[in-house]
Each structure stands twice: as structure tokens, then as C-alpha cells.
Amino acid sequence: MSSTIESLQSEERFFSAPSQFTNSAYIQDASFYSKASTDRLKFWADRASELKWSKKWNTVLTWERPFASWFEGGELNASVNCLDVHMETHRKHKAAIIWEGENGEVRTYTYTQLHREVCKFAYQLKHTFKVSKGDRVTLYMPMIPELAIAVLACARIGAVHSVVFGGFSAKSLKDRLLDSESKVLITADGGFRRGSSILLKDIVDEALAQRDTLVQSVIVVKHTQNDIGWIQGRDADYATIMANSKQQTEAEAMQSEDILFILYTSGTTGKPKGIIHTTGGYMTHAKYSAKAVFDLKDEDVYFCTADIGWITGHTYLVYGPLSNGATCLMYEGAPDYPNKDRFWELVEKHQVSILYTAPTAIRAFMKWGDAYPKAHDLSSLRLLGTVGEPINPEAWMWYYEHIGGKRCPIVDTWWQTETGGIMISNLVGIQDMKPGSAGLPLPGISAQVLDDTGDVVTEGGGLLSITEPWPSMLRGVWGDPQRFEDVYWSEFSTYFAGDGATVDKDGYFKILGRVDDVLNVAGHRIGTMEVESALVAYSDVAEAAVVGVVDEIKGQAIVAYVILKEGIEKTDSLKTRLFSHVSVEIGAIARPKLIVFTADLPKTRSGKIMRRILKAIANGEPVGDTTTLANPGIVEVLVGT
């Protein structure tokens, strides 16, 4: 890394939450920060004490870089903390999960009902399928309630769950099965997506065809009722085993540092990287951050649009909200099927009060136009959130105005699979918001921007690092401790997040995107987010992604892939105006060499833009595996442009 990342845009707008929000916020006192910084370990011990422990810990933290051990000696169970703790409270008959399918089918599980189903499935895993504490179980399922049930059932008996996103290919699934050495695989006959069936069981059969994994049993939920292959002695029907199951299963006492789950990062090249999270520290951060950031109240209906196949779904659809006794809306389907107002229909129908979604989705909503949200009553909303990638100020403002009606505060959250939970986000009960800025590190979290020598940048751009251990930090890479050290701890003495960021005079952090995506134009290191934000700030643009191409003079030049709003004509004169607009917004150094108008961008089904693929296309290189994309057909279109 040759120099500090430059920040070429500034944002001076501030927005405050309305008094009716701040007056009832869970955290209203700014001294929460000072208490955390004065005695950080006591702060985290206090947060851990909000969980139910069967045995109290004796040491808060043992730290031998890069290995942390939190709440040593303590014992607890994650399933107990999501379910059993509510059984003797007023939440016993409260809705825990409201599920809606793509076809409009609705199923609701109270905490009592969810507890019963989890206990029944845990019993089957333990007694019928002989799953023991520490065994790995892979879940390859659509977004149906049985996925959440399976996650919590694994946690209940101490099995290590590995959820593989239902959009991955047979090869990707097999790679993860081999790496984790899973003995049981839980799946479904299929899932629904835009009116079609995704044949998950067929993909499972392909992944297991060579019989070179350790999988002994495949449990199948019959969701779509498609005809599927069946291997006697290996395959088992979920409904059948549940009908014959006992309703009580004692929870396994887990040491705080016992592994709760493995989650493989979604990169499409190289060996899958299984991130390890353990029980006590992860649950401490999940419960605390969900309550603090989303200001969860008993009466809230909380809609996290992420799939449980990703870390967002783990922490903020299952463990965080349920440990706080929240009501979670879970949806199987796309945001634009059968119509482009699907999310707003769900918000109105279920009286959603908290919405947590991705900037990619927000930019798609912008492209489709504000007529869709206008057609629905969104007055139940009181808090909005974003996750997954930096949000540009234009999209932030659209979200604030057209979805939140200028009355809903926005929490722009930065975190990673590796961090386990939210690390940077304003607590909007006590802080103003800046469009495009994630805000401050949460109380208890120490984050800094560093230059390439490791010195602290007090104002300006650089590399984001977490400088003190935190409870939900990754404990390693499954089966590869050296990779854990090489990837995350070799750049600095502290944890290197892999992201560029800026910090401003108010201490607010703005995330610039992955360092791997940083553009190096004529010696200037420019974050992709800033150029993309400038393009999207133009009134005709809905979304943009920029990549670098080899340039003999500048080293790299910028190619911009641009999606226009509905009804806007793709003309050379518009390209000219966009070139000029970027020059005015950022400077001539950031002016793209080429603008490509496109109807879509290559994205994973979680909504992340695959800049690796765009970069390969722009540089005329092989694009590699595209099976994990939501829209692989767009690659051929872009290659031909």
C-alpha cells in the first residue's frame, strides 16, 4: 500500500431523530460511551450478565494476540437464551417469528411454539441421527421457519451449525461439506424465487454423488412439493420425524469458548474460509448490539431482509432479536416479485416498525421510483437500517425521505462476518446522523483509521482497524489457524478489517469499501464508494459500480457501470454530462475513462456487487465462477458491450 486513501468528498448535513424517538430510546445517556471507555472489561461483563448463564465465568478476557478467550469458565446455551428465558415471562405467547412466503402464505410461531419445535428437532438430531456436542451440521435451505428452527436446535444440543446460502452451487456446497466434515445435512426439496422453484435437493444430490464427504444423513423439508430423488437409509423426511418426536430436549451446557457456528465467507475463488464464532462472546455482542442499535421494544415488528445464509441473518434475524424477545418478520422471496412494491406491501400488512436492508436494495427501489412506496401506508415504521456495504448519501436521503417520511432515524451499520456483530453505527437516541456516514464505534468497541505504517489518522482517510479485542470477534479460520493470522493480523499489530475508511472532525467514520477495490489513479488512492456516490448523486442515475482498468499513463483508469432510472434514455450526451458531473463533484482525477450503461450489475443474492467480475470484464480477463450470482446472465451481456 503506497499511501493513505484519499477522501475527496465531504458531507456537512446533519439529521436528528425526532424527540418522540429520543425520549423513549433504550440509550438516551451519552455517558454510556464514557463508562465503556473507562472500564472496558467491566462494560462487557455487564453486557454478558444480561444473558442467562448456567455457570458464571471467572475471567472476563484472556488475550494472547491474535487469540482471545472471553468469559472463561462460564457456561450457557444460545438456544436457552433465545427461547427458554422467555417461557416464564409475558413473551411466552408473543409472536417470535412471522413468516411470509412468496405466494402470500403466512405462518406465525409464538415463543412457546418455536421453543417446542426447536426441542422436538433437537431431540431427533441427538437421538435419531446421533449428533453429539461438537459435531458439524450443514444447513442448505430456503428462507423458511424450519431454517431458524434447525439453527436453534443445533445450538441446543451443542452441534456446530454451518449454514450454506441456498443460492450456492453443488460444488460450493460440497467444498463446505468437505471442509467442515459435517455428518448431517439439512435441506429442503426446494425454495421459491420469483415464481420458480430452486431445486435444492437436486443440488444436494449432485454435491453428494461421489460419496466422498462424511455426510451420513440428509433431512429434507418438503416445502415446494416438487418430485425429488430419494436415497433410502440416507434421506429422512422432516415432517415424519417431527411427528414422532418428544417435545422436550435438555439444553447442552456450553463453555463460553465452545464453537457455536462456522460461517463460510462468500468469496468465489480459492478454498472456502470458515469463520469460527464461539458461544459466550458472540451471544453477548449479538444481544447487546441488537438492543442498542435497533432500540428494540416489545411492541416492535422487526424486518431484517437478509438471508440466514449470511452473517446478518445469523446475528440480526435469529440470535440478536430472539435473545431480546423481539417479533421478527421472515420473508422468502424477492423484493420485486410479484410486483416492485413487495417490501412495502409487507411493511403495511405486518405493521413493520423496524426495517433493516441493504443499500443495493435501496438503490433498486430508487430506480423503480417512489410511486411504489407511496402506494402503501408506511406509518408503522419508526427506525430504518442499512447493512452490507457503504450507502451513498443520495440513497441515504431517498431512504430517509421516501421510506421514513423524514421522521425515521437511520442506522448505517458497519460490520463483517468476522466481527460477528455491528461495530460502527450511530446510536440515534443520542447522536445526529450524517448521510453516507456509519457514525461512531459502538460503546465497548475501539476502532481507528490507520495509515499504511500503522500510525493513527485523526482526520482523513486510511485503513480501518479494530484496536482492542471484542467479545464476538472471530476465533479463527476452521482448520487453518495460519490463514487466520495471515489474513487478519499480518498488516498491523491490531485487527485489519480490509476496508478503507475516513474519520472526520466529529469522529464519524465513513467506510470507503474494500481496500482490494481501491482505485490507484495517477498515484491517488480513491475509494470506489466515493466515485459511485458521485454518479448516483446525478438525478438520472439509480446505481453505479466502478472498477479500475490498466492504463499506461495513470496506472489505472476508471470504468463506470451505470444503471439509469426507469424511463431515462441512454445517450452519448448523458455520458458527457456524467463525466462532467464527476469532475465537479470530486475532481478531474476521478473522471471515468469509460461509462457503460447497463440494465443490471452482477450481484450475489445477498445484493453485493461483484466488482471482481466487473474488473475482469473491463480488463478482458476470464470472469471465473458465476454460479453464486443472482443474475449470471448479465455477465454475458456485459462481456459483449
pLDDT digits (tens, 9 = 90+) for 165-222: 888 888 889 999 999 999 999 999 999 988 899 999 999 999 999 989 999 999 999 9
Q: Please state the rounded mean pLDDT for residues 82-106.
A: 97
Residue 259's φ and ψ, nearest 5 degrees, are -70, 130
Distance CA 157, CA 383 (A): 35
CB 191 within 8 A of CB 224: yes
Q: Range with the lowest mean pLDDT among 190-199, 301-310, 394-403, 411-420?
A: 190-199
Q: Give me the CATH topology for the region 518-639.
A: GMP Synthetase; Chain A, domain 3 (3.30.300)
Nearest residue to 69 via CA among 77, 79, 59: 59
CB 388 within 8 A of CB 608: yes
- Give pTM, 2 decimals: 0.87
Give the residue with greater pLDDT, 382 vs 586.
Answer: 382
For 553, counting Cβ atoms within 10 Å of its Cβ (0-12 exposed, 13-18 middle, 19+ buried), the class is exposed
Res. 554 pLDDT band, cuts 50 70 90: confident
Q: Range with the lowest mean pLDDT among 129-133, 162-166, 200-204, 602-606?
A: 602-606
Q: What is the DSSP string of 67-78?
A: EEEEEET-EE-H
Q: Please state the rounded mean pLDDT for residues 429-437.
A: 94
pLDDT computed for residue 1 by the predictor: 38
Distance CA 374, CA 390 (A): 26
Q: Range with the lowest mean pLDDT among 162-176, 250-264, 372-386, 544-558?
A: 544-558
pLDDT computed for residue 269 by the predictor: 43
Q: Is 37's pLDDT higher than 70?
A: yes
Q: Are strands 327-331 and 301-304 parallel, antiparallel or unpaired?
A: parallel
Q: Is 525's pLDDT higher than 70?
A: no
Q: Is 7's pLDDT higher than 80?
A: no
Q: Range with the lowest mean pLDDT among 266-275, 362-371, 612-621?
A: 266-275
pLDDT (tens digit per residue) in 266-324: 543 457 899 999 999 999 999 999 999 999 999 999 999 999 999 999 999 999 999 99
Res. 2 pLDDT band, cuts 50 70 90: very low
Q: Please state the rounded mean pLDDT for residues 388-416.
A: 94
Distance CA 79, CA 159 (A): 11
Question: Residue 169 corresponds to which cell in the numbers above?
Answer: 452451487
Distance CA 325, CA 22 (A): 22
Q: Is 608's pLDDT higher than 80?
A: no
Distance CA 69, CA 55 (A): 16
Nearest residue to 128 via CA among 212, 283, 230, 237: 237
Q: Range with the lowest mean pLDDT among 301-315, 344-358, 583-597?
A: 583-597
For 177, counting Cβ atoms within 10 Å of its Cβ (0-12 exposed, 13-18 middle, 19+ buried), the class is buried
pLDDT computed for residue 523 by the predictor: 61
Helix, strand and coil in the chain, % to nearest 5: 30, 25, 45
> 66 preceded by cis ω (within 30°)?
yes
Supply the mean pLDDT for the chain.
92
pLDDT computed for residue 202 by the predictor: 96
Q: Please state the rounded mean pLDDT for residues 388-405.
A: 93
pLDDT computed for residue 529 by the predictor: 77
User: What is the identity of the amino acid at 296?
Assistant: L
Q: Around Cβ 325, how many Cβ atoms within 10 Å?
A: 20
Q: Range with the lowest mean pLDDT among 24-38, 104-118, 148-162, 461-475?
A: 24-38
Q: Please state the rounded mean pLDDT for residues 26-54.
A: 95
In the chain, % of residues over pLDDT 70: 96
Q: Is 362's pLDDT higher than 90?
A: yes
pLDDT computed for residue 153 by the predictor: 98
Res. 524 pLDDT band, cuts 50 70 90: low
Q: Are strands 184-188 and 217-221 parallel, antiparallel or unpaired?
A: parallel
pLDDT computed for residue 585 by the predictor: 78
b/e burial code for range 77-96 (CB count within 10 A of at least 16 → b): bbbbbbbbbbeeeebeebbb
Q: Please state the rounded mean pLDDT for residues 460-487.
A: 94
